[in-house]
A = this chain, B = another copy of it.
Amino acid sequence: MLLCDIGNTSYHFLSDDSDYKESVAAFNPSSITQKVYYICVNSSVQTVLDTLNNWINLKSHVDISNYYETMGVDRIFACQAIENGVIVDAGSAITVDVVKDGKFQGGFIYPGVKAMSETYKNISPALDYSFNFNFNFNVLPKNSQDAISYGYLKSLYKEIISHELPIILTGGDAQKFANIFKDATVDEELIFKGMQKIFNSK
């Protein structure tokens, strides 16, 4: 069974035993002839997949009445994978979604590491620092690198832990955030678990 989670920049595949990525720019989805069960947030890729019979969109199999119209399908499938928790999907954006007793409670969107780093740099060259994921959040900063790190990370941290639920980190920057959320679980395959669950239930 082949699963695929398609984002803005890559196809992320999971076959029975391993996962791998292909770039959206270079990969031709018609080069695959077996059945692929997928979700996709990329509208131009979606247009191509709509013409391919062996690519089966799992989106139509999930009850989206609990979610909202413009919510990314990747967030929806991540939520489907868990019963209780705060999902922090740290990619180009950081989406934070809260699930209680299997029900989506709502969520919010925060800029990803790369985007936020650019933001500070564009405000002033004096703020062109990488974020420090290892400083002491309990002390108010007295240097520029910690001042932007605190601004970016501490406020997010406080908000996320306030929900008092298990924290699950996923996405390309999950390991960076594991430095901050010491008790969190890192699960790179969370979305695939949601896809598998929806597939099995149908």
Contact = CB atoms under 8 A, between A and B. Distances in A.
Contacts of A112: 123
Copies in the complex: 2
The A interface is mostly helix, strand or loop, or mixed, namely mixed
A182 interface: no
A110 interface: yes
17 contacts: A70-B144, A71-B144, A93-B120, A106-B140, A107-B141, A108-B148, A108-B150, A108-B154, A109-B127, A109-B147, A109-B148, A111-B119, A111-B120, A115-B123, A118-B119, A119-B119, A158-B162
Interface of A: 8, 67-71, 92-94, 96, 98, 105-112, 115-116, 118-120, 122-124, 126-127, 139-144, 146-148, 150-152, 154-156, 158-159, 162
